[in-house]
Amino acid sequence: MADRREDLRAADVDRQFVAERLKAALDEGRLSLGEYDDRLKDAYGARTYGDLDKILKDLPGFHPQAESQLARSSTPAASSSSDDDERDESRNPRWLIGVWSAWLVAVSVNIVIWILVSISNGEPVYFWPMWVAGPWGAVLLATTFSMKVLGNEPPRQQKRYRDS
């Protein structure tokens, strides 16, 4: 068994995470297309966490081994801090804000279209956006109520190699 984190074997999900981080760096303009291509090849050819760390070490947001989740999870103090992170996530889940934002955008677009159609007709037409806003909004309200009032757990993402 490997004693150090750098020597532990990386999984496909770890390589995929590094590939996604490299794509983000390319989109941000931090890597040229040639650098991205070279690093992507290295990421999919990596065998250990150490190999993956080398690929990301000069990109912002990369945390050294001492700050990684794998290194922190082996210490007792770290488990309590990860519990705090999970409690914070359940109090203010980002995915819930995201789905409500998507609902708001979709309903707003439909209402603007309805207003434009009503103006072009010269009189208000049937308010069909209610069929977009109503059912979707009811599901979101039930989900929010279930989570906040009844205390149901939010869906959890699969834990994977990540730098935050």
pLDDT tens, residue by residue, 77-129:
444 444 555 444 555 577 778 888 999 999 999 999 999 999 999 999 999 99
DSSP per-residue string spanning 90-105: HHS-HHHHHHHHHHHH
CA dihedral (50, 53, 55, 57) positive or negative: negative
Cβ atoms of 161 and 52 within 8 Å: the answer is yes
How far is the CA of 121 from the CAs of 108, 114, 116, in angstroms?
A: 20, 11, 9
Report the alpha-carbon distance of residue 21 to residue 44 in Å, rounded: 13
Q: How far apart are the first and last CA of the chain?
A: 26
Dump the DSSP string for 17-56. Answer: HHHHHHHHHHHHTSS-HHHHHHHHHHHHH--BHHHHHHHH
Q: Are 21 and 56 in contact (CB under 8 A)?
A: yes
Among 54-63, 79-88, 146-155, the range scoring the smallest mean pLDDT is 79-88
Q: What is the pLDDT of residue 67?
A: 52
pLDDT of residue 76: 46
Q: For residue 9, what are the β-bridge partners?
A: 48
72 has pLDDT over 70 = no
Residue 2 has what pLDDT? 55
Q: What is the pLDDT of residues 23-54, one digit of tens each?
A: 988 888 899 999 999 999 999 999 999 999 99
Any residues with CB less than 8 A from the CB of 64 and at least 6 apart, and which?
A: 53
pTM over 0.85: no
pLDDT in tens, 122-134: 999 999 999 999 9
